[in-house]
Amino acid sequence: MKIVPVIMAGGSGSRLWPASRQLMPKQFLNLMGDKSMLVETVNRLGGLPCDRPIVICNDDHRFIAAEELRVNGTDDATIILEPVGRNTAPAIALAALAANPDDILLVLAADHVIKDRGAFHHAVESAMPFAEQGKLVTFGVVPRSPHTGYGYIRAESIHHASPVLEFVEKPDLEKAQRYLKSGCYYWNSGMFMFRAENYLAELQVQRPEIVAACRESMNKAEADLSFLRPDAEVFKACPEDSIDYAVMEHTKNAFVVPMDAQWSDIGCWASLWEISDKDVAGNVTRGDVIVKDSSKCYIDSASKLVAAIGLDDVVIVDTKDALLVANRNDMQKVKEVVQRIKEEGRNEVKHGREVYRPWGHYDSIDFGPRDQVKRITVKPGAKLSVQMHHHRAEHWIVVSGTAKVTIGDETKLLSENESVYIPIGKVHSLENPGRIPLEMIEVQTGSYLGEDDIVRFQDKYGRV
């Protein structure tokens, strides 16, 4: 029997700001190695009897998700684009409707860390017989501490698979200590296994309006390049609810399988500090970092040397455009800072200096009142849209690779150290016809330099 992995890749990961942004959230970041959390989730399935995965993400992240999967060699995935976020119950329903009714779905989050792959495989294999019998299986993480940031699952024991007795909200410390001591409570992992038809049948009993909206939305779904787009207007009317509240807390068929696989949901920087390798003073460092007379710190530098002296229990995260310095025990307040940045209308909540596009990415290396300088990377074979600007002119300088530039009716090839000027209002396009990445410097000048001053006439990625 084949397993169909369903990988939930939505969410913004705001508590991991400034590394995680709305347009580049944590599931697409390399937080624990040289691969993104999405790719790590896919690779973790190697060795299990899995069919091609179903990945669910939102429209803003579609090209990032597709490129991550393509580079990883997983270009046969079905990518479903949620029109709007409606929590996990409707998202999983979309996947269940896209699968065959008797498919066994393994529902995973793209932003979890699981260090012990063998223990993860053992738990999945142990859950399969129960899913085949029609059970709705959840994976309970064997707790390592009285954690107050997780929900809990009460069962007969944490030593064997058994029916779920109760789902419990995040407890205070006293309750969490009592749960740990009892030996009957798991951490709620948010991972599940069941047949597609069994999940939809139970959801139909508990929340029929969710099933109706998802079914109609999928019946009207359209293929867009390699993506599947459920009907937006129908899905927007779908009620919002989690799988726990909508199904698992009410069904009589809930079953829990233990998983002791060094799991973490990486909810904040303190969580990442907890599971990372540390030096003798308990510090975790990434990037160009020097630490002196400091202990139990998490320090991550993406672009410059960071020196920390005489600090304890401090988180420092440096990116190209923002710096976070906080007490490691105050990580819940990062979300409040993100909310303030959003209310002030600042871009730092939406994206970093590097912005990813389907054709590659750019880095805004300098910004003035009437000028902006970008470093642009265009992938081999990729092409920017045929476009024009009302308020800015552009000057392109090729650093490496070959650029095919069209301005009006004229097309030319530019190579290293060559440049071209695009006046305001002139229709133009840029393409990389070569086999290596095209690296360019773009200098913009004008009265308005916003990204919304783009009029697209033609686009191979369907963005017109």
Q: List the domain boundaries for the chain.
A: 3-264, 271-339, 354-458
pLDDT band of residue 121 (cuts 50, 70, 90) is very high
Q: How far apart are the first and last CA of the chain?
A: 43
pLDDT band of residue 78 (cuts 50, 70, 90) is very high
The fold of 3-264 is Spore Coat Polysaccharide Biosynthesis Protein SpsA; Chain A (3.90.550)
- Mind listing the pLDDT tens digit for each residue in 147-196? 888 999 999 888 899 999 999 999 999 999 999 999 999 999 999 999 99
Give the three-class secondary structure for 7.
strand
By CB atoms closer than 10 A (0-12, 13-18, 19+), residue 450 is exposed
Of 398, 122, 112, 110, give the one whose Cα is nearest residue 271. 112
Average pLDDT of the chain, as a whole number: 95
Q: Which amino acid is residue 43, in one-letter code?
A: N
Q: Can you read off the two tokens belonging to residue 396?
A: 């392109």
Q: Are 155 and 163 in contact (CB under 8 A)?
A: yes
pLDDT band of residue 440 (cuts 50, 70, 90) is very high
Task: Say what the pLDDT of residue 439 is.
Answer: 98
Q: Is the pTM of this model over 0.85?
A: yes
Report d(CA 268, CA 329) in Å as an integer. 10
- Mind listing the pLDDT tens digit for each residue in 382-394? 999 999 999 999 9
**Residue 464: pLDDT over 80:** no
Report d(CA 240, CA 86) in Å as an integer. 4
- Mind listing the pLDDT tens digit for each residue in 314-351? 999 999 999 999 999 999 899 999 999 999 999 999 99
The helix/strand count (H/E) of the chain reads as 11, 31
Radius of gyration of the chain (CA): 24
% helix, strand, coil for the chain, step of 5 = 25, 35, 40
pLDDT band of residue 462 (cuts 50, 70, 90) is confident
Are 3-264 and 354-458 in the same CATH fold? no
* Mean pLDDT calculated for residue range 408-428: 97
By CB atoms closer than 10 A (0-12, 13-18, 19+), residue 208 is exposed
Considering only residues 158 and 135, tell me which one the structure prediction assigns the higher pLDDT.
135
Torsion sign across C-alpha atoms 408, 410, 412, 417:
negative
**Residue 253: pLDDT over 90:** yes
Q: Can you read off the two tokens belonging to residue 192?
A: 């599940």
Buried b (16+ CB within 10 A) or exposed e, 351-370: bbbbbbbbbbbbebeeeeee
Report d(CA 319, CA 301) in Å as an integer. 7
* Mean pLDDT calculated for residue range 114-123: 96
Q: What angle do CA 78, 272, 86 make, to 5 degrees?
A: 40
Report how far Cα 192 is from the mean position of its chain's Cα atoms.
19
Strands 263-264 and 113-114 turn out to be antiparallel
**Residue 426: pLDDT over 90:** yes
Task: Say what the pLDDT of residue 1 is.
Answer: 74
Q: Are 255 and 138 in contact (CB under 8 A)?
A: yes
Report d(CA 64, CA 27) in Å as an integer. 10
Q: What percent of the chain has pLDDT over 70?
A: 100
Looking at the domain that runs over 354-458, which CATH code has it been given?
A: 2.60.120.10
Q: Are 333 and 326 in contact (CB under 8 A)?
A: yes
Task: Say what the pLDDT of residue 397 is.
Answer: 98
pLDDT band of residue 11 (cuts 50, 70, 90) is confident
* Mean pLDDT calculated for residue range 130-144: 96
**Residue 19: pLDDT over 90:** yes
**Residue 432: pLDDT over 80:** yes
Q: Are 290 and 275 in contact (CB under 8 A)?
A: no
**Residue 23: pLDDT over 90:** yes
Cα distances (Å, whole numbers) of residue 446 to 82, 370, 373, 396, 453: 37, 5, 12, 15, 11
Strands 314-318 and 298-301 turn out to be parallel
